[in-house]
């Protein structure tokens, strides 16, 4: 009997047949993802508008990496103590408050404390501490649910179904932001500030609505999310207990993510600051910030279209080749982008190509959680991401330093006579690090037995 492929129709049907609590959590995840995706990819430009340097943008990225490393365990410990319902409500309120901090930052202005002046962009850092709170709850539990609900040889399909819904917010969010930016300042105006304040206002509304719905509708009586993590005391043993098969994947993944973290926050600055790349479509002028939102939409369309077919392909060729494909796109995209001609068609094609990095994401997740024991998916996932994200912490700061510097070094020999810091160097180094990660995975990465 043929198995049904995860088509859009079957994915929708599976989604709405979920248990009530999982459905509520999924809808809340969609709403908060909309808020994050409307705002997150524009925050680098927002920081610059508020007076931050590119190096500060890099520091902001590394600050976000710290939060990504620490929050999943901290959120799990807190959920164990107070219960899932109240933890979810608090996390939702904190995330909404974070969006609000981002909204009011330019209205506060510099605060002169005598020996110290607090610049408006500092509130973006404060807002990030709060805005990321809701995401701290679900990482390990989400992996564990799929692990417990899907046969081992269909893990990639299971993750493809959940990722399709989550990533749809990644498509809608940037396009909605681009639409608001266009309506408020889409003519010849290049400053994103007026329109982005509207974007942040909408994100606040999404956060309020999602928090209210999940608090009223979520029933935690049978929920076991909070028991997936046993507290900070388990970190050392959980790291030691990572399946040996995951170690090559972890090394390669860390290198690839380090490379991406070096330049991820600067993609928008390449479009809006270096190239100032605008476009006129069907007689409608799109300034660089609006066009960037369109590029993100193109990227995510390719991601959504490609995830399910590659998950099916993984059942034939294995998880490793599909994961290697995603890693390769991650690695080569930075150098392709920074040295591309400032042509809208070329750049659009590059962002479409970038969408293929998400094609390997379901297989990547299956390869992480697959070797775990059936009741240990949350702990394995939490330990894996804790270690990976901790190592990746300095990546954005390093990228920001290279991007924002102007030093030169005379080389004794080779194809280059002078090495010059700047965006080209930052993006090139990122690609070199990423390619090393890809090569390591190709040589040492192991296949999950269920797909071998």
DSSP one-letter code for 409? E
User: Where is pLDDT greater, at 78 or 430?
Assistant: 430
Q: Any idea which of 86-90, 272-276, 395-399 has the lowest mean pLDDT?
A: 86-90
95: Cβ contacts below 8 Å, ≥ 6 apart? 32, 35, 130, 131, 132, 133, 134, 135, 207, 211
- CA distance linking residue 369 with residue 337, whole number of Å: 32
* Summary mean pLDDT of the chain: 82
CATH topology of domain 20-218+245-451: Growth Hormone; Chain: A; (1.20.1250)
Q: How far is Cα 156 from Cα 142, in angstroms, rounded to an integer? A: 14
What are the sequence ranges of the domains in the chain?
20-218+245-451
- 244 C-beta neighbours (distance < 10 Å), count: 8
What percent of the chain lies above the pLDDT cut of 90? Answer: 47
CA dist., res. 82 & res. 117, Å (int): 39
The pLDDT, as a whole number, for residue 236 is 74
User: What average pLDDT does this structure show over 412-423?
Assistant: 78
Question: Which carries the bigger pLDDT value, residue 259 or residue 135?
Answer: 259
pTM value is 0.86
Mean pLDDT score, 271-280: 94
For residue 391, what pLDDT band results from cuts at 50, 70 and 90? very high
Q: What pairing do the DSSP bridges indicate for beta strands 408-410 and 117-118?
A: unpaired
Cβ contacts of 174 within 8 Å, gap of 6 or more: 37, 38, 41, 292, 293, 296, 297, 300
- Does 3 score more than 50 pLDDT? no
Q: Does residue 45 carry a pLDDT above 50?
A: yes
Give the pLDDT of residue 75.
67
pLDDT at 81: 65
* Whether the predicted pLDDT of 225 surpasses 50: no
Please give the full DSSP string across 334-378, using - where no structure is assigned.
HHHHHTS-S-HHHHHHHHHHHGGGGGGHHHHHHHHHTTS-TT-HH
Distance of CA 17 to the CA centre of its chain: 27
How far apart (Å, rounded) are the C-alpha atoms in residues 382 and 225? 13
Rounded Cα gap, residues 374 and 367, in angstroms: 14
pLDDT of residue 181: 92
**What is the rounded CA–CA span in Å between residue 83 and residue 223?**
9
Helices and strands in the chain: count of H runs, count of E runs: 19, 6
């Amino acid at each position: 009997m043929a198995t049904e492929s995860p088509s859009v129709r079957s994915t929708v049907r599976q989604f709405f047949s979920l248990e009530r609590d999982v459905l509520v959590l999924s809808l809340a995840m969609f709403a908060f993802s909309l808020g994050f995706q409307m705002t997150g990819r524009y925050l680098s430009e927002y920081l610059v508008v508020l007076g931050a340097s590119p190096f500060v943008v890099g520091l902001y990225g590394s600050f976000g990496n710290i939060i990504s490393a620490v929050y999943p365990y901290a959120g799990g410990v807190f959920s164990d103590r107070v219960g899932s319902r109240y933890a979810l409500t608090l996390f939702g309120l904190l995330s909404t408050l974070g969006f609000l901090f981002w909204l009011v930052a330019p209205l506060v202005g510099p605060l002169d404390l005598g020996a110290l002046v607090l610049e408006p962009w500092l509130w973006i850092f404060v807002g990030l501490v709060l805005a990321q709170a809701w995401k701290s709850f679900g990482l390990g539990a989400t992996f564990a649910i799929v692990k417990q609900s899907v046969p081992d040889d269909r893990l990639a399909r299971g993750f493809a179904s959940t990722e399709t819904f989550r990533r749809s917010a990644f498509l809608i969010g940037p396009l909605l932001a681009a639409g608001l930016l266009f309506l408020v300042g889409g003519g010849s105006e290049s400053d994103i500030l007026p329109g982005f304040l509207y974007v942040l206002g909408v994100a606040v509304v999404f956060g309020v609505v999602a928090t209210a719905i999940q608090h009223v509708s979520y029933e935690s009586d049978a929920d076991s999310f909070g028991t997936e993590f046993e507290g900070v005391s388990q970190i050392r043993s959980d790291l030691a207990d990572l399946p040996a098969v995951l170690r090559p994947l972890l090394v390669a993944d860390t290198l690839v993510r380090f490379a991406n973290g070096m330049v991820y926050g600067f993609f928008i600055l390449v479009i809006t600051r270096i190239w100032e790349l605008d476009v006129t479509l069907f007689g409608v002028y799109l300034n660089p910030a609006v066009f960037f939102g369109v590029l993100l939409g193109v990227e995510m369309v390719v991601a959504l279209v490609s995830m399910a077919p590659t998950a099916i392909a993984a059942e034939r060729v294995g998880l490793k080749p599909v994961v290697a494909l995603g890693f390769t796109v991650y690695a080569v995209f930075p150098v392709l982008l920074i040295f591309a001609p400032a042509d809208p068609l070329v750049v659009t094609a590059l962002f479409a190509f970038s969408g293929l990095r998400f094609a390997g994401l379901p297989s990547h997740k299956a390869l992480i959680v697959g070797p775990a024991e059936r009741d240990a998916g949350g702990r394995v996932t939490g330990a894996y991401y804790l270690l990976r994200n901790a190592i990746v912490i300095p990546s954005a700061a390093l990228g920001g330093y290279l991007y924002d510097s102007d030093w030169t070094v005379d080389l004794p020999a080779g194809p280059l006579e002078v090495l010059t810091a700047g965006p080209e160097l930052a993006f090139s180094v990122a690609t070199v690090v990423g390619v090393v990660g890809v090569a390591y995975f190709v040589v040492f990465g192991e296949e999950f037995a269920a797909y071998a």
